Structure 1
């Protein structure tokens, strides 16, 4: 990856928003990834929300809590720790508290927290589900794994799945893509085979 040396120009931002508005008119969901480069902002998201009522999923590296009212957010655990200024570690009570806190502050319908080798946690309503990583923990290459999880989660929401089912599907996709070298993808048949041969699992607390 090569990070931009300069901020986005006003002209570039306008063109990006115009393109997003155009695509949103024929889309079933919107995924916003804010890496802190100035292309995605809370103000942009507010304007896009008014265009069409579709699931809007947010992934923000540095200013998670500045966004409000999106459908779902997909931070990783370090991003949650940084936003709340708390160290979660292996403390389930802290993790549950953090999920509740982010949900409340951001006014989300659901929240997915990715945890690397520890899998992920999804919160929907009052339910917090702890999902262990799918497949082997002998990871080959994590390149693009987070993007795979977020994209699969968003696509599942767009298809009508609830957040828990969407998270399980995303977990399958993420678990498979890390077993491939380079920036890899997971196919529909691969996902279907995983669903047919391995039932979704959740940890009990």
Structure 2
């Protein structure tokens, strides 16, 4: 018996040690100041519906009902670093236009400092994605990829010269939109080296000579194969590629992300391969940006490469379990260390987190089902009800009444089980994809934010006013009722316990 109980105790101890080491590193990120230079993109999403063909030519007509604008390109790296507590200044180029103003506003809202320059001869880079009924119809790019004028190059270079002392690390995030010429890259790297500031690179393209003498380059397997000229089919190939990059580019550190195989790092002194954690992958978008962000911050706090790669690997494992280009927070990292085996806890989300993740599911045409309730003292009736809900579509979101909400609805003695514990029990069910706690008496605001395809309620709600039903039906969604089943009731369970 003693031997059996020691295993979970040892695992718990290891988790606590990992959490302490993560906290020790991440807490230092708040004191870092990072300069990020690169191509900034405004991502525009036009959502609507298609039910007509144009009389002018045989093409679909998109009736746009909603527009969204998000930061893209190099700013995703900035988002990741800010989310981890760093102070970040981003430098790049925008056009003298309304899109540039929108981009600047978005940077302010994300607490990213703006050191942008205006180019009157080019537009702000915008990618417009047109989406109807969850399907991408078309992407339209507005951009000019020509390299900057000598005057703008000089201004960006001078900014680095004048401000280099402020920053701990310089990060170059290249998306091949014309900002980062070989001349400008080499100038930035040279200025940083002369001032003992590390330079980390997120590369692009098939010529990496413009990044020569940087501190670190971080790239994925596919990008690296193009540069070294041979496939990376084995770890021996990966090691050979790492050494090739060190020698040809004069860099100190080569990092190669290997997807499910983890991350490999090569320096002149050592080679390290950190295997990826087993992780359900929803979306790999932005994983490379996450790795570059963590490596940059770990470099700023002078963390060892082994620890930096370990932390970057943990962060990448978290972000691929989210949907879309996502960020990782200190809380995500701590939770990963403490609850490494409890993957169901990742289903507990805030409303903003769920909204972001639902976007990709909608784009894939998945049917989103929503239900809500108190779920105080979970019983078999609840479980059967939730299985029914899940079978109405492709994924199920539960709106869970908060403790305060239940007390207002059912009296001060309720709930019996606190919201955190109720949420965890629901998240452990295979039928449940996400749990969101809401504070209001009804889930109307939550439904309006999530815009599910199907709302499910118990049959006892038939003929009554169901919160959010009219809203869902207004855009073609449906409201369904679960057949009433006798024999299970939280109120009856509480009454039975009290009698005993």
Q: TM-score, normalised by structure 1?
A: 0.84
Equivalent-residue separation in structure 2 for 1:98 and 1:16 (angstroms): 33
Count of residues in correspondence between the two structures: 196
Which shows bigger deviation, 148-157 or 14-23? 14-23
Following TM superposition, by how much is the alpha carbon of 1:125 offset from its aligned partner in structure 2, in angstroms? 2.5
Equivalent-residue separation in structure 1 for 2:146 and 2:277 (angstroms): 38
Alpha carbons 1:124, 1:163 under 8 Å: kept: no
Matched, 1:44 2:188: no
Higher relative contact order (CA 8 A, sep 6+): 1
Equivalent-residue separation in structure 1 for 2:241 and 2:178 (angstroms): 27
Deviations 1:73-109 (A, max 9, x none): 11111111111111112x2221111111111111121
Q: 1:180 aligns with which of 318, 322, 334?
A: 322
1:122 corresponding residue in structure 2: 265
Trace 1:76-87 onto structure 2 (pairs within 5 A): 76-87=220-231
Matched, 1:9 2:143: no
Alpha carbons 1:88, 1:95 under 8 Å: kept: yes
CA distance 1:96–1:141, change in 2 (3 Å):
same
Following TM superposition, by how much is the alpha carbon of 1:23 offset from its aligned partner in structure 2, in angstroms? 4.6
Equivalent-residue separation in structure 1 for 2:169 and 2:313 (angstroms): 19
Equivalent-residue separation in structure 2 for 1:178 and 1:20 (angstroms): 34
CA distance 1:181–1:85, change in 2 (3 Å):
same
Alpha carbons 1:124, 1:164 under 8 Å: kept: no
CA distance 1:16–1:189, change in 2 (3 Å):
same
Equivalent-residue separation in structure 2 for 1:117 and 1:6 (angstroms): 33
Equivalent-residue separation in structure 1 for 2:323 and 2:164 (angstroms): 33
Trace 1:1-205 onto structure 2 (pairs within 5 A): 2=127, 4-10=143-149, 11-48=151-188, 49-51=190-192, 52-62=195-205, 63-89=207-233, 91-136=234-279, 138-195=280-337
Higher Cα Rg, which structure = 2
Q: Secondary structure at the match of 2:264?
A: strand
Q: Secondary structure at the match of 1:95?
A: helix
Root-mean-square deviation (CA, aligned residues, Å) is: 2.2
CA distance 1:7–1:160, change in 2 (3 Å):
same
Q: Which structure has the highest strand share of the two?
A: 2
Following TM superposition, by how much is the alpha carbon of 1:20 offset from its aligned partner in structure 2, in angstroms? 4.0
Deviations 1:50-91 (A, max 9, x none): 2522111112111224421111111111111111111112x2
Alpha carbons 1:140, 1:180 under 8 Å: kept: yes
1:201 corresponding residue in structure 2: none
Which runs of 5 or more structure 2 residues have no equivalent in the other structure?
1-42, 44-126, 128-140, 341-500
Q: TM-score, normalised by structure 2?
A: 0.37
Equivalent-residue separation in structure 1 for 2:223 and 2:209 (angstroms): 10
Which runs of 5 or more structure 1 residues have no equivalent in the other structure?
199-205
